[in-house]
Structure 1
Amino acid sequence: MPARSAISSSRRQWIQAAAVLAGGLLAQVSLPAQAQGEAPWPSRPVRVIVPFPPSGATDLVARVIAQRVSQELGQQLIIDNRPGAGGTIGAGEASKAAPDGYTLLFTTSSTHAISPHLMPKLSYKVDKDFTPIAHTADAASMLLVTPSLPVRTVQELIAYAKANPGQLNYASSGNGTIVHLNTAAFAAQAGIRLTHVPYKGTAQSITDLAAGQVHLLFDSIPTGMPHVASGRLRALAVTGEQRSALAPNLPTLAESGLPGYSSVTWFGVYGPAGMKPELVERINQAFNQAVQNPDVIANLAKQGVEPAKAQTPKEFAAMVKADSARWAKVIKDNHITLE
Structure 2
Amino acid sequence: MKFKNLFACLAAMSLLGAVCGDVRAQAAWPAKPITIIVPFPPGGATDVMARLFAPRIEAAIGQPVVVENKSGAGGTIGTQWVARARNDGYTLLWGTVATHGIGPNIYKKLAYDAVADFEPVVHVVDQPYVLVAHPSRNIASVADLLRQAQERPGQIPVATAGVGTAAHMLFEKFQADTGTSMLGVPYKGAGPAMADLLGGQVDLAFDVILTTAPYIAAGRLVPLAVTSADRSQTLPNVPTMAEAGVRGFVASGWNGLFAPRGTPRPIVDKINAAVNLALRSPEINQRLLSEGSIPVGGTAGDFSSFIKAEIRVWGEVARQANVSVD
Using the size of structure 2 for normalisation, the TM-score is 0.88
Q: Pick from 313, 332, 339: which aligns with 2:300? A: 313
C-alpha deviations, 1:268-322, integer Å up to 9, x for none?
11111112223222221221121221222344356542211x3221211111111
| 8 A Cα contact 1:92 1:123, kept in partner | yes
Q: 1:74 to 1:193 in 2, by over 3 A?
A: same
Instruction: Name the counterpart of 1:60.
Output: 48
Instruction: Name the counterpart of 1:74.
Output: 62
Q: 1:91 to 1:206 in 2, by over 3 A?
A: closer
Consecutive unaligned residues in structure 1, runs of 5 or more: 1-26
Q: 1:131 to 1:204 in 2, by over 3 A?
A: closer
Q: Pick from 79, 85, 88: which aligns with 1:91? A: 79
The aligned runs of 1:128-277 (5 Å cut-off) are: 128-277=116-265
Taking the aligned partners of 2:104 and 2:293, their CA distance within structure 1 comes to 24
SS of aligned partner of 1:55: coil
| 8 A Cα contact 1:64 1:299, kept in partner | no
Letter in 2 for 1:328: G
Taking the aligned partners of 1:235 and 1:32, their CA distance within structure 2 comes to 59
Taking the aligned partners of 1:219 and 1:35, their CA distance within structure 2 comes to 49
Structure 1 position 291 matched with structure 2 position 272: no
Instruction: Name the counterpart of 1:325.
Output: 312
Choose 1 or 2 for highest CA Rg.
1
Q: Pick from 15, 21, 41: which aligns with 1:35? A: 21
Letter in 2 for 1:111: T
| 8 A Cα contact 2:130 2:206, kept in partner | yes
Aligned length: 312
Q: 1:228 to 1:104 in 2, by over 3 A?
A: same
Letter in 1 for 2:278: A
Using the size of structure 1 for normalisation, the TM-score is 0.85
Q: Which deviates the most, 244-253 or 221-230?
A: 221-230
Letter in 2 for 1:185: K
SS of aligned partner of 1:148: helix
Structure 1 position 121 matched with structure 2 position 121: no
Q: 1:330 to 1:150 in 2, by over 3 A?
A: same
Q: 1:236 to 1:96 in 2, by over 3 A?
A: same
Cα deviation, residue 100, structure 1: 1.8
| 8 A Cα contact 1:136 1:269, kept in partner | yes
Q: Percent identity?
A: 38
| 8 A Cα contact 2:234 2:291, kept in partner | no
Letter in 2 for 1:279: I
Q: 1:332 to 1:46 in 2, by over 3 A?
A: same
